[in-house]
Structure 1
Amino acid sequence: MEAGKKLGGRYKIVRHIGSGGMANVYLGHDLILDRPVAIKVLRFDFRNNTDALRRFQREALSATQLIHPNIVGVYDVDEEDELQYIVMEFIDGTDLKKYIDIQGRVLPEKAIHIMHQVLSAVALAHKNRIIHRDIKPQNILIDNQDRIKITDFGIAVALSETSITQTNTLLGSVHYLSPEQARGSMATSKSDIYALGVVLYELLSGSVPFDGESAVSVALKHFQEPMPSIRESHPEIPQSLENVILKATAKEPLDRYATCEEMMADLDTCLREERRNEAPFMPVSLLQETKVLTPLSAEVVAKADIEKTIISPPQSVKTEAIHEFEPGREAAGGKKKRKKWLFFLFTVFLLSLIGSFFLFFYNNQEADAVTVPDVSNMDQASARLALEDVGLVLGNITEEYNEEIEEDAVIETSPKIGSSVAAGDEIDLIISLGEELFTLLDYEGQEYERVFEDLRKEGFTIERTHEFSSEVAEGNIISQNIEPGTEVKPGETTLSFLVSDGNESYTMRDLSGYTRKSVEDYAGQYGLSLTITEAYSDTIAAGLVVSQSLAGGSAFVSGDALSVVISKGPEEPQVVSFSRTITIPYLPAAVSESASESNNGQGSENANSNANVSSTSNEPNHIVIYVQDEDHTLSDVFREFDISADEVVTLNFRILEGSSASYRIERDGEVISEASELTQ
C-alpha cells in the first residue's frame, strides 16, 4: 500500500513498518485526532480465504473486548475497497524478542517487572474467557520506558469455542507450545500459562528451553523432555524464581498455576530472602505412588481368550411337521412327501457347500488384493511406512512443483490412491517441490507500472513508496527491497519498490540581503549549480547579494544553474594626476631719493637737478603658492620661495575622477595669479 493513501477518509498511510503471516502493518496518521496509529491490513492473497478472514475478524473482536494498559488498544475496524483493516494504538518501541536479542538476558528484578505487566494483561483476557494461544516474545511489545503491550489476538478464541479443533493445523509458535497442544488437545487458559513460563525462561536465560531442527522435534521435546534447569547455566538465579518457571511449565496442566494472578503473586515474593533457597518444585503427578500392574497368568489369558471366542451355531432349516391321518394310503403318501423333503434338504445343503467353497476361494483371492492407502500430504518416509504396513513396496519417486502441496510431501501415487492392487506391488510416488521458486531480476531503472503488472501476474504482493530523484526518471524504480537473483515464492513474498517522482520542483527565494555563505548553503541544500561574481554597488552593502539569475518566486529543480552577483560596495573613484606650468613675473622694487640725501651737502645746482629722480632696486620678490587637490588645501602653503627674475614653475595636481583642483600665487603678499575647477 502506497504512502499517502487514505483509509476511511481519516487514516493516512505514512510508511510500511512490518509484515505478518496474513497481514501487513503500516504506520498511519489519524487526521481527525492528529495522532500516530498502527494499521493492520489483511494481505491481498488472503482476502478470499475464509479461514484467514475469520481469524482476522476474530482478532479485531477479541482485542476490542479487552481494555487494559498492557494490551494494544484497538481504535477502529473497517473495510474499504475489499481491504479489511484494523486501526490500533501505535507503540514506539520494539518486540520483546528483538529486545532480548539486543540487550541479552535480563536481571531477575527486571524480568519480574516485565512479566508482572504481561500476566496482568493475560489475566484480563482469561477473565473475559479469551485464550491468547500465541503468547511469545514477538507478540509482546516494549517501549523505551519498559512498558509492555500485548498484541496479536489473531488466533485467540473464547473458552466456549475451544471444543472446535482444526485438523492438521498447529496454531501458535512451537517454541512456546504447551504439551497438550503439541499432543493435539485443545488449548486452555493453562496453555497460556505454560507459554508465559517459557517467556520468563527466555528473559532470564536469553534463549528458549527447547530447540531443534524442525517444528515436530521441538513439539516432541515439550511433552517428552523435562524443562532444562536455568540454574545450571545461571546459578545466581534463586531457586524460588526457577520454581516459578517449573510450576508454570509443568507437563500436566493440573500441576501448573490455576490462574495468572496466582503466578503473579508467586513472582512478587520469589526474591524474598526467606524463599531464595527453597526446595526445587516437584509436580504433584510425579509425587504420587507408582502403581505396578500384576501380569496375567497363562490360564487366565487362555480362559479370557476362550470366553471371547464367539461360536456361531449352524443355521437350522425350518421344516414343516407331517401329520399322519390315515395308516394306509395316507401313510404311504406321507413317506413320499418325506423323501421329497429329504431330497430338497440335501440339494440345499449341497448348494450351500458349493457356495461356501466359492466364497472361501473368493475371500482368499480378495485377501491377496490391497487398496492403495491415502498417503497424500505425507513426507516420503511416512508414505513408505504406510505402504509397507499394507504390504506394498515403494516404487519410483518423481518430483514436480505444486502450489497447494507443501515441499517434500506426496502429491499423488501411481496407481491412484484407493486403487486395488496385488500385495507386493510397487507404488510410485510424486513428491512436491513446493511452489516453484521465482528468481528476482534487477528492476532498478525500469518502469514501475510494467514491472508491477508482470509481478502481480506471478502472485507477488507489491508495495510502493516514492521519493523525488534527480537521477532516475519519473515513474521508474529507484531501488527494491530484495536483492536481484534471490529465489522466492511469489505467493509468500511482498516486494517493495522505491519509485522516482522525478526532479522535485522548488520555489526560488529572493536572495536579497543574503551573504555569500548563505547563498552557498542554499544552493547546496537544493542541488543548484552556483556561480558567484562580484560588482561595485552604491546602494548594496559589500558582501550582500546584488542580483540573481533565477528570480525570487520562480520554479526550479535540483541541478539548475544559479548565478548570483555579490556587492563589493561603492566603487572608489580613480585618482587623476595632471600639471600646469605657470610663469611668475619678477617685479623690481622702486627707490625715490632727495638731492640732499644723495649729494650730502653738494652745490645747490646738482641738488636741484636730482631732486625728483626715482630709481629701481634688485631686491627679490617673495612668492607663496597655495594648491587645492586630493593631497592639499588652499589654507596650507604649498610652496614658498624668492625670485629675482621671472620664474617658470610647474604645479602637479592629484584629484579624484570627477573632482577638480585650484591654486593661488601671491607675490610679496599680493595675489598675482589664481585658477579653480582645474581638471585633466
Structure 2
Amino acid sequence: MDTTLTDPLVGKLLDGRYRVESRIARGGMATVYLALDIRLDRTVAVKVMHRSLAEDPAFVRRFIGEAKSVASLSHPNVVHVFDQGTDGDNVYLSMEYVPGRTLRDVLRARGRLPAREALEVMIPVLAALGAAHQAGLVHRDVKPENVLLSDDGRVKVVDFGLARAIEATNQTRTGVMIGTIGYMSPEQVTSGATDARSDVYSAGIMLFELLTGRQPYEGDTPMSVAYRHVHDTVPVPSTLLPGTPPLLDTLVAQATARDPATRPADATALLVAAVDAHRMLPRESGPVPSVPVGPPQSPDAAPPPANQTLIQPRVELLTSPVSDAAERAAPRARRGFRPNWFLIALAVVMVVAVGVTGWMFSQTTTVTVPSLVGKNITIAEGEARKLGFLVEVGKAENDEKVPKGNVLRTDPVAGTETEGKTKLVIIASAGPKRVAVPNVVGLDENSARAKLAEVGLVVDDVRKQPSETVPRGQVMRTSPAVGNPVREGSKIDLVKSAGLVMPDIKGMPRDQADAMLRAAGFNPQFVEQTDSAQPCTVIAQDPQPNAEIDKGAVVRLTLSQCNNGEWRWPWEHEGDNGGGGDDKIIIIPNVMFKDVKAAREELRVAGMRVKIKKGPGRGVVLAQIPPGGQQAPPGTEVTLWH
C-alpha cells in the first residue's frame, strides 16, 4: 500500500505556499515531504514536526528561534533552511531539497568505507560543523542519518538546532535524553550538557563506524550503551579492522576522549587533523601526471622534458636554410673575390671569447659550506642559494632533538670548501618518531609485551586490578591508552585483570557469606565442623584471603555446627541483663549496604568499636556482625565486610 496516498498532507497546500507532492521519509520527530514553493517556483523539502511536539508551546518558541539561527548559517555543506512557520497543527521547516541518499543508506549498502573515502566524507561534515561552531551553534545529534550525499557528489549536514529545540519540550523534563545513544558524548549522557566538543565526540564515533562498519558499543538496552559511553574508552578502529592506518586510530582516539578537555576544541580543529591525515595516507593509485600547456603536437612528437618551461625565449640562428624558391629568386653573386668582413669580425670575436673562457677556467673559486644545522629549512635553503650552491632538499628524517622543519644535516658538511657551483643536499628533521600504542586489551601479559615490542615500545609497570568481567591474566587497559601517539622506545604501563580476589569471611554467618560470595561470582560450598562459640559461622576458608581466582571457581568454607541455629554473643553469658543492667545496653545500628566510611562513623557515634574486612563490595557494606537491631553493651566490636 502506498503510504503517500493515505497521508493527509499529500496534495495539500501548506500555509498557502507549499504544495505537498509526496512523502520522502518519516522519522521519530518529523516527516519530510517533497513540495513545490508556488511563490518562487522551486522544489523544496518540507519537514513537518509530529503533532506531539507541535502541541508544546515551549517547543514551538525554541523551534522558531533555532530556525532563525540556522537560516543565517550559509555554508556549502549545510542544508539551507529557507523558511519556518505554522499552519494549524503543523509546525514546519522549508529547506533545500537534496536529491540523493543518506550516509546511513550508504553504510547499509557497503558495510564500511576505505580509509581515504571515509575521510573524504568526514572532511565536508567537519567543515559544516566547524562553520556552525564558529557561529555559536551546536548540532547535538551528529549521526549518519543526518548526513546527505547528493546525486552529484556533494555532502550536506541537516537538522542543525532541532535537538536543542526539542530540549524545551515536556518530554525532556521527564528525564529523556535527547540525541542518539550510539553517538552521545559522556557529558551528554550524564548531565545533558553539550558544546562543540560534544559534536566532536559524535563525529569521532561516526568516523569509527565509517571505517569499521559498526558502532563501538552494542548492548541489549539503550542504557547499557549509554553506560559504556560514560565508563569505557572508545576502542580504536584497528581493534575491529586490523591494518587500519595508525593516523586514523589516533584521530578517533583524540575525538572520542571521555574528558571533553582533551578532545579537539571544536570541529574546525578536528578538521585540520583530518585533512592532515588524508594528506599523509598512501594513495591507492599513482598521481595523475600534469599536462603541459603549449601548442598542439603531432602524434609522433617526443614527450616534453620534465620541468619544461612553458614560455621559452626565442633563439635566432645565425644562418638558416633558404627555400628553393628563394634561392632561385636571389641575384647571382658577382664574379671576383671580395673579403667578407662580417665573417672576419665574427672570427676575431670567437678568438677573444675562447681566450677569456680559458682565463676564467684557470681561476680557482672556492666556497665554504655554511653552518645550517638547526635553522629553518626555508631560511637555510635561501642562504645556500645566495652563496651559489645548487640546493637539493632531501627526504626528512626523524630526530629526537632537532625540531620538525629545521635542518638536521647537510652534505657536504659545514666548513667544507667547494669549487664553483656545487650541489648541496639539505636534510630536514621530521621531528621525533611517533608510533601509536597498539591494541593489547584482552591479551595475556607475554603476548602484550611481544606486540608492543613489534612497534618499538617496552613494558614498564604491570599492575593488577580485580575484575568480574575480564578473565584473570588478561590486559584490561594501557597507559598511555591504546591509539595514543608516543615516542619510539617509550615505556607503557599495563593493567591486567586479577580476576576475583578472595575476601576474608572468617567469622561471618553462613547465610551472609553465601549471599555475598554468590553475588560476587564465587561458588561457595560449606562443610560443618565441630562446635564453636557461634553456630553456623565460617571458621576456615579455601582459597585463603586475597587469593586470585577465576569467576565461578569453587570456594570451600568450613562452618561451626548449625544444629542449635541461634547466635550467642559473649555478653549474653554474663547475665539476663547483658552483664550489667538496662542502662548499659544499646541497639546496634543497621548499616547494611551503606557506604563503609559512613557506616563506620555511624557505629562509632553509637559507641561501638568497628573492624573492617575487605570483600567484593567496592566500598558498600555487604555483611555486618553482630547484625543491626541486636542489643549489645557499649564498646562491642562490630565487623563489617565491604
TM-score range for the pair, normalised by the shorter chain length: 0.3 to 0.5
Structure (1 or 2) with the larger CA radius of gyration: 1
Structure that is richer in strand per residue: 1
Q: TM-score, normalised by structure 1?
A: 0.40
Q: TM-score, normalised by structure 2?
A: 0.42
